[in-house]
Amino acid sequence: MCFRGGVRFSIFGPPSEAAIMLDEIRAKIEEEIERLTHELSVVLPKAIQKAVEHGDLRENADYKSSLERQQFVQARIGHLQQRMAELSRIDVREMPTDRVGFGSKVRLFDYQLEEEVNFIIVAADFMDLDAGHVSLASPIGRGLLGTRPDQEVSIALPVGERRYKVLEVLTLPQQVGIESDSGDD
């Protein structure tokens, strides 16, 4: 944390950005489910019917590709519904406030680059590399999970090992105004 004019602030900007992350992920998933459901119930049946009208189904590439697309869309909808169920089980009040977890904003010192870097730990559904997002499932996300300020961590990446020092952690509970009583969650 830094101080300017007696007011405490973080280099990460306003807390409202991460406070709405879960809602944005849910909305994004719901939008994709809606789009895919429309494709499954309206677009694909028309494409399949049109392909059937062309005759011999054994050698009908349009028919085969429509059926494959239908199977893919069904599988994708199932996956998205599972993600929605997982998101509904996330309780920000139960998340630790003293270490890196989902939604955390993390300021690090990268020993190899010899500079500070900022990451936000997000779900893969919410990735935006330009905004400094790192997936919780990525090597960096997994390597930072559970770390605390002043802790050093070595993370095995495809390009080799990277060493970081955790300088600052702003957890999702802190971003929504939930503070730890003891700091030892």
Cα distance between residue 6 and residue 97, in whole Å: 24
pLDDT of residue 102: 87
CATH class of 94-175: alpha beta
Q: Which amino acid belongs to residue 127? A: M
Report the C-alpha gap between 144 and 147 in whole angstroms. Answer: 6
- Domain borders along the chain are 17-88, 94-175
- Give the residue-averaged pLDDT of 5-19: 45
pLDDT digit string, tens, across residues 112-141: 999 999 999 987 766 777 778 898 889 999
In CATH terms, the fold of domain 17-88 is: Helix Hairpins (1.10.287)
| Residues 6+ positions from 152 with CB-CB distance below 8 Å | 163, 164, 165, 166
36: how many CB neighbours lie within 10 A of its CB? Answer: 18
